[in-house]
Chain A
Amino acid sequence: MYAYDAIDREMLADRVAEFREQAARRLSGELTEDQFKPLRLMNGLYLQLHAYMLRVAIPYGSLNPVQLRRLAHVARTYDKGYGHLTTRTNIQFHWIKLRDAADILRDLAEVGMHAIQTSGNCIRNVTADPYAGADSSELDDPRVWSEAIRQWSTFHPEFSFLPRKFKIAVNASPDADRVATRTHDIGLYVARGDDGALGFKVFVGGGLGRTPYIGPLIREFLPATRLFSYLQAILRVYNRLGKRDNKNKARIKILVATLGAAEFARQVEAEWEKIGPAGDLPDTELARIRGAFTPVAFEALPARSTRFETAKQASPAFARFARNNLRPHKKSGYAIVEVALKAIGETPGDISAEQMDALADIAERWGLGDIRVTHEQNLVLPHVKLDDLAEVHAALAQAGLATANSNLITDIIACPGLDYCALANARAIPIAQAIAETFADPERAERIGELKIKISGCINACGHHHVAHIGILGVDKKGEEFYQLTLGGSAAEDAEVGKILGPALPAGRVAPAIDELVDVYLRERSDGERFLDTYRRVGLAPFKEAVYADAH
């Protein structure tokens, strides 16, 4: 993992000092809330319905045990004992006091963490494949590029006051997309050129919110050595031409859609040519960063573990966990472990301080000290020996972290919604809980198979509802919470925006409607089809019929 050097640490120390001074000016009354707002919004500090919320960056979703324990300390000392993981792989603390904020940033800085790039119209925290370094299909380690992007984009003098926020994601597997890459302002797919050279496929102008777009391809192959001049060209075109008079039209997706992907690409290429290699990072720096991600020392192990097989025979609960929450690792004898923060009846993405500490211990003891956050609000232990899985499972279960529902219908993404967020129209958490309870029977959930439900409490779409197999959007109808369902979206390699099923439903109808949709799927599905596949084959009509039958 990348460890902050003296320069990185001094950057954070200077940031803490700056914020401490700004917060003191607010606390003394020298600054009004209006004057303070843009300053706190450059430090991830939001004012929500009940309190300040601090969003802490977890660049490319990568954490070590020391950092996770420090997050537990923040939750315990300054909040109500828990944090909430977001679809941008950040963690939010929802009950923060302004007078503590600078101390929290100081505590975080000690372990190389911060709240930079978690708010404001800057280049936000970069996200990457959570299986980086563990997946056999990856073409290069996306963390190398993500860390380089993190540094390049931190306090970028030209791009800190963009028309709107700007999100970059890096995917490295040609077979799978676990980063929702094409819903980002810039999505990078690591690629290999015809001659084997490393590079990127570049997608620009994806995004969710009011106007969802799957980002179009604007460059088939960008040599990796030219990444930063190309990013600069994209950002410069956007900074100069992006709309600023209407917040709803200010994202780059609108610029790309207005100009057309081809014309946008032409302008970027023209600017890129003028910038030239002066805008690129030297190979020495890329090599230095790459060195920090040298492959960990895996043991040579047989592909089959007797301990693992025996434990599965002995424990149905462990066998279920193994079926649903393990992914193949590039090294034989290892597995990738999904730690779902989706216990039935709990808030999706919430994790308590005790759970953070427990997971840090588990990662340290059995997981090579590596922890990842996914955009699906779960955690990952990327490197666990098959031999150790039963013990890991037992320890996770002890901490309430062994929910065996990864990728299943109860593995729901939900934004904080109206329970916390000042922007929300409707609650998201109770809807997620009601659905999870409807499908609490794990055997039934497994029979249903992969089904991605995502819930947003408003059109800003933090819950990614547009790209869910079943998306749920909270809307306000004359002061009452209603929910609009969409079907057939995907955030993965087959990215697509879902289609609206029909009129919005009252809160009490949502979970029963999901049940009806699932019944249609189980009735219609052919062998091996996921919900999404069946929907794509049979279309919207039978699903619509089932949910709105009573309305006829």
Chain B
Amino acid sequence: MPTLIRWRDGRAELAEDPYTAVADDAGVPHGEVIVSLTRFLQEGERLLGEGRHVGVRVEALEAVEDLAYDLPRISVVALVFPKFAQGQAYSSASLLRERFGYAGEVRAVGDVLREQARFMVRCGFDAFEPADGSTPDEWTHAVGRFRHVYQRAADHLAPAFEERGS
């Protein structure tokens, strides 16, 4: 099982991952699962009806809008970075948080590197499966490198223009 880092109260911590990531061609085990968007659209009602937590994995080319009406019932949205430089998931995370007000876990999976940690946290990711073996301390350090930000984002940090105005 990959390491799971959770971002909470301004720092990263190691977390137990109760979820099993389920491949499309595998059977669904008991307990908490993360399934693909395709599978969720087919089997989601049934899985949720079994009284368990269900997460959904959204690929880079898939639209989080497809989940819009189900979001209140989904406990994790796992956004995939096929390569670190494929940045669609930054928009997906921003939309989940800022447009749909999604309050569950937004998890970064795939080619997840600490050098991108700050961008991810700013867009509203709060859980990470690092592909580079990063420790929580390294993650916290990477996120906290900058004292200021220039834009409003899902992390609700006060941008420079608000700091200046206050």
Interface residues of A (CB under 8 A from B): 5, 7-8, 10-11, 14-15, 17-18, 22, 38-39, 121, 151-152, 154-162, 236, 239-240, 244, 274, 278-279, 281-282, 284-285, 288
Contacts and interface: CB of A to CB of B under 8 A. Distances in A.
Contacts of B14: none
Contacts of A239: 87-88, 90-91
Contacts of B119: 155, 157-158, 160-161
29 contacts: A7-B160, A7-B163, A7-B164, A10-B148, A11-B160, A14-B146, A15-B146, A22-B115, A39-B115, A152-B150, A152-B151, A155-B119, A155-B146, A155-B149, A157-B118, A157-B151, A157-B153, A158-B87, A160-B119, A161-B86, A161-B90, A161-B116, A161-B119, A162-B87, A274-B99, A279-B152, A282-B161, A285-B165, A288-B161
B147 interface: yes
Interface of B: 63, 84-88, 90-91, 94, 99, 115-116, 118-120, 122-123, 145-153, 160-161, 163-165
A157 B90 contact: yes
B131 to A, nearest CB: 12
A151 B84 contact: no
A7 B164 CA distance: 8
Contacts of B153: 157-158
B145 A244 contact: no
A121 B85 CA distance: 8
Contacts of B120: 157
B114 to A, nearest CB: 11
B127 to A, nearest CB: 17
A18 B144 CA distance: 10
Contacts of B115: 22, 38-39
Contacts of B94: 157-158, 236
A278 B154 CA distance: 12
Contact of A282 (B99, B123, B149, B165): B165
A71 B143 CA distance: 31
B90 A18 contact: no
Given A158-B90, A281-B161, A11 B145 contact: no
Contacts of A18: 145-146
Nearest to A156: B151
**Secondary structure call for the A interface:** helix
A160 B148 CA distance: 17
A239 B90 CA distance: 9
Contact of A284 (B122, B150, B160, B161): B161
A275 to B, nearest CB: 8
A155 B88 contact: no
Given A11-B147, A14-B146, A157-B123, 11 more contacts: A7-B160, A11-B160, A38-B115, A121-B87, A151-B150, A155-B119, A155-B150, A161-B116, A162-B87, A236-B91, A285-B165
Q: Which 7 pairs show the lowest CB-CB distances between chains A and B?
A: A161-B87, A157-B122, A285-B161, A157-B119, A14-B146, A158-B90, A151-B150
Contacts of A121: 85, 87
B123 A151 contact: no
Tell which of B116, B118, B145, B151 has the most Cβ of chain A within 10 Å: B151
B27 to A, nearest CB: 32
A148 to B, nearest CB: 9
B148 A11 contact: yes
A10 B85 contact: no
Given A160-B87, A161-B86, A282-B161, A14 B147 contact: yes
A137 B118 CA distance: 43
A9 B7 CA distance: 28
Nearest to A14: B146
Tell which of A14, A154, A155, A282 has the most Cβ of chain B within 10 Å: A155
B34 to A, nearest CB: 22
Tell which of B87, B115, B119 has the most Cβ of chain A within 10 Å: B87
Nearest to A121: B85
A14 B143 CA distance: 12
Contacts of A158: 87, 90-91, 94, 119, 123, 153
Contacts of A162: 87
B85 A161 contact: yes
A257 B162 CA distance: 38
Nearest to B123: A157
Contacts of A160: 87, 90, 119
Nearest to B120: A157
Nearest to B115: A39
A39 B88 CA distance: 19
A165 to B, nearest CB: 12
A29 to B, nearest CB: 16
A5 B164 contact: yes
Contacts of B123: 157-158
Contacts of A5: 164
B90 A288 contact: no
A475 to B, nearest CB: 29
A48 to B, nearest CB: 21
A240 to B, nearest CB: 5
A435 B158 CA distance: 54
Contacts of A159: 87, 90
Contacts of B163: 7
Given A157-B119, A158-B94, A284-B165, A14 B150 contact: no
B130 to A, nearest CB: 14
A39 B122 CA distance: 19
Nearest to B124: A157
Nearest to A22: B115
A140 B105 CA distance: 45
Nearest to B154: A157
